[in-house]
């Protein structure tokens, strides 16, 4: 592995973290490398930096493309594919969450719904369904929240995250204010 120590440490760590998720080590390393690279890299450059086989890199890049996590670029007069991660780290987060939801949450929700439709014969099954219902409702709640929040532009999203639980205070304030008679600031203070 031919990398500045700082980059190498990061790449190795990211590879390990990748393993803890469903992602294999090489894929994690490729992504980490692209993330910190100052310019797009082609497959051979990745090979020499990571010291893995050409075919391994090819498969890794294919997987990252399937996840929409890398972008493909070309240079004039050069046939090779060059890869980058999005400049905007928030775009990366959005893609990551979106893809994980698609692959993990949605199928689970589908399954839970199917199981909840089934006729429960025994008491044991009836209890299991009650539990699955709890899980289903939980997932729906998160999915609904996510569907809403993903539409926020990044600035507002950051604003929201920075506020944290202080949002509660805003909500309390809203409760107080919307109970005021009349109008404020020329528009109705009600929330539609």
Q: Of 43 and 120, which has the nearer Cβ to DNA?
A: 43
Q: Does 44 bind DNA (CB under 7 A)?
A: yes
Q: Which residues contact 122 (CB under 8 A, 6 or more apart)?
A: none
Q: Which stretch binds its own copies (CB under 8 A): 50-58, 61-69, 71-79, 116-124?
A: 116-124
Could you give the CA distance from residue 22 to residue 162 in angstroms, rounded to a whole number?
30
Handedness of CA 85, 90, 93, 98 (dihedral sign): negative
**How many residues form the binding site for DNA (CB under 7 A)?**
22
Give, as ranges, the residues between 100 and 119 that touch DNA (CB under 7 A). Answer: none
Least distance CB 156 / DNA (angstroms): 37
Q: Which DSSP string do the residues of 37-87 spell out, in sequence order? A: -SS-EEHHHHHHHHT--HHHHHHHHHHHHHTT--EEEEETTEEEEEEE--S
Q: Of 76 and 185, which has the nearer Cβ to its own copies?
A: 185
Cβ-in-10-Å burial (0-12, 13-18, 19+) of 14 comes to buried
**How many residues form the binding site for its own copies (CB under 8 A)?**
73
Give, as ranges, the residues between 80 and 109 that touch its own copies (CB under 8 A). Answer: 89-90, 93, 103-104, 108
Least distance CB 53 / its own copies (angstroms): 24
Could you give the CA distance from residue 145 to residue 138 in angstroms, rounded to a whole number?
11
Q: Does 172 bind DNA (CB under 7 A)?
A: no
Q: Which stretch binds its own copies (CB under 8 A): 56-64, 67-75, 76-84, 162-170?
A: 162-170
Among 61, 64, 70, 112, binds DNA (CB under 7 A): 61
Q: Which two tokens stand for residue 154?
A: 């990044």
Eight-class DSSP state of 8: H
Residue 177 binding target from DNA, its own copies, none, CB below 5 to 8 Å by type? its own copies
Least distance CB 26 / DNA (angstroms): 3
Parallel, antiparallel, or unpaired: how do β-strands 41-42 and 71-75 relate?
Answer: unpaired
Among 55, 108, 110, 154, binds DNA (CB under 7 A): 55
């Amino acid at each position: 592995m031919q990398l500045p120590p700082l980059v190498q440490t990061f790449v190795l760590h990211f590879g390990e973290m990748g393993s803890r998720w469903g992602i294999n080590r090489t894929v994690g390393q490729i992504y980490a490398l692209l993330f910190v690279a100052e310019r797009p890299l082609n497959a051979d450059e990745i090979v020499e930096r990571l010291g893995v086989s050409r075919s391994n890199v090819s498969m890794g890049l294919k997987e990252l493309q399937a996840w929409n996590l890398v972008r493909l670029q070309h240079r004039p007069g050069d046939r090779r594919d060059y890869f980058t991660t999005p400049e905007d780290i928030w775009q990366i987060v959005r893609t990551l969450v979106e893809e994980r939801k698609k692959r993990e949450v949605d199928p689970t929700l589908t399954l839970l719904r199917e199981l909840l439709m089934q006729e429960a014969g025994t008491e044991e099954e009836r209890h299991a369904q009650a539990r699955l219902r709890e899980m289903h409702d939980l997932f729906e709640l998160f999915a609904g929240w996510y569907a809403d929040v993903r539409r926020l532009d990044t600035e507002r999203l950051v604003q929201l995250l920075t506020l944290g639980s202080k949002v509660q205070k805003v909500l309390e304030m809203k409760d107080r204010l919307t109970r005021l008679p009349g109008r404020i600031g020329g528009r109705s203070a009600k929330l539609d």
